[in-house]
Structure 1
Amino acid sequence: MRYSPFCDRISGEGVAAWDIHQRAVHDQRAGRDVIILSIGDPDFDTPAGITDTAIASLKRGDTHYSDILGYPNLRAAIAAHHKRLSGQDVTAANVSAVAGCQPGLFAASMCLLAPGDEVVVLEPMYLTYEATIRASGATLKRVSQRPENNFHLDPADLEKAITPKTKALFFATPSNPTGAMMSAEVAKAVADIAIRHDLWVVADEVYAGLTFGKKHVSIAGLPGMGERTVTVSSLSKSHAMTGWRIGWMVGPEELIHHVHNLGLCNQYGMPPFIQHAATYALTHDVPEVEAMRQAYQRRRDTAIARLNQVPGLSCHVPEAGMFMMLDVRKTGLSAYDFAWGLYNETGVSVLDASPFGPSADGHVRVSFVIDEKSLDEACSRIARYTNTLKSVKA
């Protein structure tokens, strides 16, 4: 039987990159002593007030169809949250609720792009971006954010990548996998490029609530960017709600109209009880959110203090998020071989970062989504494994 070429467009290296994580999950379920540092799924429970709101909604019988774009009160809460974060003056009419950040990225791709379009992506990039963009028939052009610049963008590199076929720019700030944040100066330079070349900008801001001292800059709030920017985010990371699948898109009203039509085809609205829980999360003081952010910062500092002492390893300090890029080039191993060797010898799973983009070659991504005692043990195992390698360079 024949399958659509679409199936080829949504496959690729990004899918295979998860093999080590899937192996670790399988082995952990089988009882092996495994420490998983290969995914960004918070170890915290969703704050009780949010969960209680969903339960109460279910008990009221809120189990029926809802509005395709989301209930008006949720969309208004998202708009207010986005305005506080970005300064962009938006209303519920600029918002669609979606089943997490990833469906928002996919909807943006399908509604903005077409075969023959080029999309500039800042790499290292999140693994799903390639398939998400290629699903539309568009092609990717990668712009490197180099490790020697701590994975920050040089706007001159972006300018050189623009061609007459360029339709859009996709990026995440703060970044997954690097934790790097776009500065106000760089965001202004990117905005100038987008305006000058009449580009769409799709900004993934899912980690904007998990910053460590630096102020998040949302490009949508800059002059001239509101009509050409789609901001995608969710509660998955900031509120430990990965399994709830609730996120949003903020963009021009005309785009939201098209997203509505796409929603008629593929989802037909978010579950009502999840929407009520999300509305609570966005309109109430939830102290656990700040406590979680502080915990991630402590874990970051612990991992850096431990691993920077290990000959052959070097940590890039993340400015936000729940990941760190660990440079393993001086071990003499590729990132792939280091990750699998570490797992086979110690049971600690990290991700080979190479599939995130060529700039990440020689790095592994380490997550902070375990308690500090377990993280400390994981660092000990990483150090022990690295110290056994005879090829480590000074």
Structure 2
Amino acid sequence: MKYSNLVERLQGRRTTAWEIHHAAQQAAARGEDVIVLSVGDPDFGTPEVIVERAVAALRAGDTHYTTIMGREPLREAIAREHAKSSGRAVGKENVMLCAGAQNGVFVSSLCLCEAGDEVLVPEPMYLTYEAAIRASGATLVPVPVDPSRGFHLDCDALAAAVTPRTRAIFFATPCNPTGAVMPREDLERIAEIAKAHDLWVVSDEVYADLTFEREHVSIGALEGMAERTVTLGSLSKSHAMAGWRLGWAIAPETLVGHFGRLALCMLYGLPGFIQQAALTALENRAQIAADMRELYRRRRDIVYERLNGVPGLRCLLPEAGMFMMIDVRDTGLDTHEFTWQLFKAQKVSVLDASAFGETASGYVRLGFVVDEPRLVEACERIAAFARQRAG
């Protein structure tokens, strides 16, 4: 039987990076003593106040179709919270709900790009960006960054990558996998490039509430950028709601209308009880996000203290998020060998970061997604493996 070319465009090297994670899940299901650090799904549950709102909504019968774009009270709440955190006033007409930021990237690609277009994406980049962009027929053009500068963007390299076919710039700040937070001056330079060449910008800001030392700045709030920017947000990381699949896109009203036509075909609206839970999440955002941020900061410091300086390992201290990049080149193994040998020897799964882009070759990504005693044990296992390699 023949399949659509779209199937092939959605398949790529980056999407195979999850194989080690699936192997770890299967081993855990068999009862093996596995520590899974290969995905951004934390060990703790969604805060009780959010869960109870969803349960009450279910019991009250909120199980019917909802509006395609999302209910107005929730869209209004998202607009208020975005204005509060970014300084950019938006209305509910600029907001559409989506099934997490990944869905937002996919929808943005289909609405903004077409065959023959080029999309500039700083790498390392999140794994599904490539498939989402290729689905539109556009070509992803990676823009390498310098690991020695903490994986921060070289804006001159970005400007040099623009061609007459360039249609958009996609990026994440804070970045998954690196934890880098774009400083204001870099965002201002990107804004200049976008305005000079009439480009769209898609800014994935899922980790905005989880910054540590550096301030998060939303590029859509910069002068002249609101009309050409899609800002993606989510409750997955800041509220431990990864499995609830609720995110949003903030964009010009006309573009949001186009998003809605895609949503009609793809989702037909998100469940009402989840939207009610999201309202409660936003009502308690300040405290919940602060608690999450402190938890991840503490876990980050635990990993850095125990692994940085171990023979063969060099850790990059992330500025945000729930991941750490670790340089393993001095172990003498490439990252694919390192991740699989570590898993077989110590039953700890981390991700080969080269899947996020060639810039990250030689690095693995470790998630702060287990409790602190288990995280300490994972560090001890990784250190033992690295010392054995160095010895």
Change (3 A) 1:380 1:8: same
Distance apart, 1:286 and its partner CA: 6.1
Distance apart, 1:84 and its partner CA: 1.4
Question: How far, CA to CA, are the matches of 2:225 and 2:287 in structure 1?
Answer: 33
Superposed, 1:318-333 pairs within 5 Å as 318-333=318-333
Q: Which amino acid aligns with 1:103?
A: N
Q: Which amino acid aligns with 1:282?
A: L
Q: Judge conservation of contact 1:41–1:242 (CA < 8 Å) in 2.
A: yes
Query: Deviation string for 1:263-285 (max 9, x for gaps)?
Result: 11111111000001101111235
Q: Structure 1 unaligned segments of length 5 or more: list them.
A: none
Q: Structure 2 unaligned segments of length 5 or more: list them.
A: none
Superposed, 1:93-112 pairs within 5 Å as 93-112=93-112
Aligned to 1:296: 296
Q: Which amino acid aligns with 1:204?
A: D
Q: Which amino acid aligns with 1:80?
A: R
Aligned to 2:179: 179
Distance apart, 1:89 and its partner CA: 1.4
Aligned to 1:161: 161
Superposed, 1:254-333 pairs within 5 Å as 254-284=254-284, 287-333=287-333
Tell me the number of residue pairs that the alignment of Structure 1 and Structure 2 aligns: 391
Question: How far, CA to CA, are the matches of 2:33 and 2:379 in structure 1?
Answer: 15
SS at match of 1:383: helix
1:11 and 2:15 matched: no
Q: Judge conservation of contact 1:47–1:286 (CA < 8 Å) in 2.
A: no
Aligned to 2:200: 200
Question: How far, CA to CA, are the matches of 1:286 and 1:193 in structure 2?
Answer: 34
TM-score, normalised by the number of residues in structure 2: 0.99
Query: Deviation string for 1:159-215 (max 9, x for gaps)?
Result: 000000000000000000000000011111111111111100000000001111221
Q: Which amino acid aligns with 1:262?
A: L
Question: How far, CA to CA, are the matches of 2:56 and 2:267 in structure 1?
Answer: 24
Distance apart, 1:92 and its partner CA: 0.1
Change (3 A) 1:273 1:186: same
Q: Judge conservation of contact 1:180–1:320 (CA < 8 Å) in 2.
A: yes
Distance apart, 1:262 and its partner CA: 0.7
Question: How far, CA to CA, are the matches of 1:85 and 1:251 in structure 2?
Answer: 16
Aligned to 1:136: 136
Aligned to 1:125: 125
Q: Which amino acid aligns with 1:79?
A: A
Q: Judge conservation of contact 2:210–2:289 (CA < 8 Å) in 1.
A: no
Question: How far, CA to CA, are the matches of 2:196 and 2:82 in structure 1?
Answer: 25
Question: How far, CA to CA, are the matches of 2:277 and 2:133 in structure 1?
Answer: 31
Q: Judge conservation of contact 2:238–2:288 (CA < 8 Å) in 1.
A: no
Stretch of structure 1 that moved more, 81-90 or 238-247: 81-90
Question: How far, CA to CA, are the matches of 1:75 and 1:292 in structure 2?
Answer: 23
TM-score, normalised by the number of residues in structure 1: 0.98
Aligned to 2:384: 384
RMSD over aligned CA atoms reads 1.0
Change (3 A) 1:285 1:120: closer
Question: How far, CA to CA, are the matches of 1:61 and 1:92 in structure 2?
Answer: 25
Aligned to 2:242: 242
Question: How far, CA to CA, are the matches of 1:241 and 1:255 in structure 2?
Answer: 27
Question: How far, CA to CA, are the matches of 2:287 and 2:231 in structure 1?
Answer: 25
